[in-house]
A = this chain, B = another copy of it.
Amino acid sequence: MRVGILGGGQLARMLALAGLPLGLRFTVLDASADICAGDVADVLAGDFVDHACLSALAKLCDVLTFDFENVPASSVAFLQTQRDIHPNADVLAMTQDRLTEKAAFAALNVPVAPHCAVNSLAELTSATGQLGFPCVLKTRRLGYDGKGQYRLRGPGDVETAWRMMNDAPSILEAWIVFDRELSQVATRARDGCMVFYPLTQNVHRDGILALSLAPAKVSDALTHLAQTYARAMAEHYQYVGTFALEFFVVGEQLVLNEMAPRVHNSGHWTIDGAVTSQFENHLRAICNLPLGETTARGVSLMFNWIGEVPPLADVLCVPGFKQHDYGKQARAGRKVGHATLVAASFDQLQNSLNQMPAAVCTSEQRDYVRQKLLDIYL
């Protein structure tokens, strides 16, 4: 069975690494020939809007998916007429516009931040009056990892903020004062069966995910709420595959920040820390195979490698630290790999942390991580 993936980045690479042992083979479609999934998949060089390329991919493969959320929904809709492709174009389109996304979740009774559509400086001024400061202005489309966002602290920021958007249709969101950030990674099969990973607690730095800890220490009530929201979305959209919902935690409430209609960075710990990874479960779902167990094996702490990967020998000398180098060139701000520390207990996790050489985690970073862990566990 051959799986076609629109996009050939690290998510496609990790999908292929999870799928090859199942006997699956992969072809990725990407405009760039130098892509990191090329080590483990055949590459079809071409654009996501080129119908001839899309048809060629559909012909080569038995089932299709995508590895990032900015593939045009119209291309997925086009492919749906030729082959099974999951997730579907409707849910993808919903997630591609922050305004639509918020409306969709609100309609499913999932709390979202107060927000206003903003298409001009005048609308922005009026919206800040309604939502107050601080607040955050975001482009409705094509933002990720904190890109296309501007935080407004007071009326003096309004003009600069609007200028940053380059007249793009935007959304102003009230600033949510949250206790912490959690994400729910889940997979829905073609037959409607769903599996949920334990909630993951995320720590962002400069708008990019820096750390994930799983399972997060949460009440049963929060777990239930997250699963209820995930199920509501997935059933409404007849979703097939893995997805992530990112939430702000405010007291005992969850406020949806955004949804990723794909495997997600906050689920990378599942490769080493869960019985079945989010990648394998995505493939099982789209290939109409039974889903696998999502139980965590101990406690996992995932570190993203941003910009460059630390020296391999330093990473590998830490007991229980599993390295995932994406085979990408180093570049400032780029996600080039991650590593997951899997430990039997929180104490053992602390122990392994203490053994990290400075090249992996400076003492300042270690203190930061330790403080975050204490925030989580106390």
B residues near A320, Cβ cutoff 8 Å: 275, 293
Chain B residues, Cβ within 8 Å of A23: 309, 312, 323, 325, 327, 337
- A33 at the A/B interface (Cβ < 8 Å)? no
Contacts of A39 in B (CB 8 A): 20, 25, 40
User: Is A83 in the interface zone, CB < 8 Å from B?
Assistant: no
Q: Given the interface contacts A17-B21, A23-B337, A325-B22, does A290 sit within 8 Å of B313 by beta carbon?
A: yes
Q: Does A324 count as interface, using CB distance less than 8 angstroms?
A: yes
Chain B residues near A359 (CB-CB < 8 A): none
B312 A22 Cβ-Cβ under 8 A = yes
CB < 8 Å neighbour of A284 from B289, B316, B325, B342: B316
Q: Is there an interface contact between B313 and A289, defined as CB atoms closer than 8 Å?
A: yes
Partner of A319, one of B293, B297, B313: B293
Measured CB to CB, the nearest residue on chain B to A275 is: B320
Confirm or deny: A111 has a beta carbon within 8 angstroms of a beta carbon on chain B. Answer: no
- Given the interface pairs A20-B327, A22-B323, the reply to whether A290 lies near B275 with Cβ below 8 Å is no
Q: Quick check: B17 and A20 within 8 Å, CB to CB?
A: yes
- Is A317 an interface residue when CB atoms closer than 8 A count as contact? yes
Interface residues of A in 1-32 (CB under 8 A from B): 17, 20-23, 25
Which residues of chain B are near A17, meaning CB under 8 Å?
Answer: 17, 20-21
Query: What 0/1 pattern do residues 334 to 370 of A give for CB contact below 8 A with B?
Result: 0001000010000000000000000000000000000
Contact with B along A21-65 (1 / 0, CB 8 A): 111010000000000000110000000000000000000000000
Cross-chain contact B290 with A21 (CB below 8 angstroms): no
Instruction: Give Cα A284 to B316, complex, Å.
Output: 9
Question: Contacts A316-B289, A316-B292: A21 and B297 contacting too (C-beta < 8 A)?
Answer: no
Q: What chain B residues lie within 8 Å of A342 (beta carbons)?
A: 275
Q: How large is the interface on A (under 10, 10 to 19, 20 to 34, 35 or more residues)?
A: 20 to 34
Contacts of A322 in B (CB 8 A): 21
Q: Which residues of B contact A312 (CB under 8 A)?
A: 22-23, 289
The CA-CA distance from A17 to B275 in the complex, in Å, is: 18
Residues of chain B within 8 A (CB-CB) of A275 are 319-320, 342
Q: How far is the CB of A97 from chain B (nearest CB, A)?
A: 35
Nearest-neighbor residue (CB-CB) of A339 within chain B = B21
**Chain B residues, CB < 8 A from A293:** 319-320
Docked pose: A327 CA to B323 CA in angstroms: 25
Chain B residue contacts of A317, Cβ below 8 A: 290
Which residue, of A23, A312, A320, has the highest number of chain B Cβ atoms within 10 A?
Answer: A23
Given contacts A21-B325, A23-B312, A290-B317, 17 further A-B contacts (CB under 8 A): A17-B17, A17-B21, A20-B39, A20-B327, A21-B322, A22-B323, A22-B325, A23-B325, A25-B39, A275-B319, A275-B342, A284-B316, A289-B312, A290-B316, A292-B316, A293-B319, A293-B320
Chain A residues near B (Cβ < 8 Å): 17, 20-23, 25, 39-40, 275, 284, 288-290, 292-293, 297, 309, 312-313, 316-317, 319-320, 322-325, 327, 337, 342
24 sample A-B contacts, Cβ–Cβ < 8 Å, listed by A number: A17-B17, A17-B20, A20-B39, A20-B40, A21-B322, A21-B324, A21-B325, A22-B312, A22-B323, A23-B309, A23-B327, A25-B39, A25-B327, A39-B40, A40-B40, A275-B320, A275-B342, A289-B312, A289-B313, A290-B313, A290-B316, A292-B316, A293-B319, A297-B297
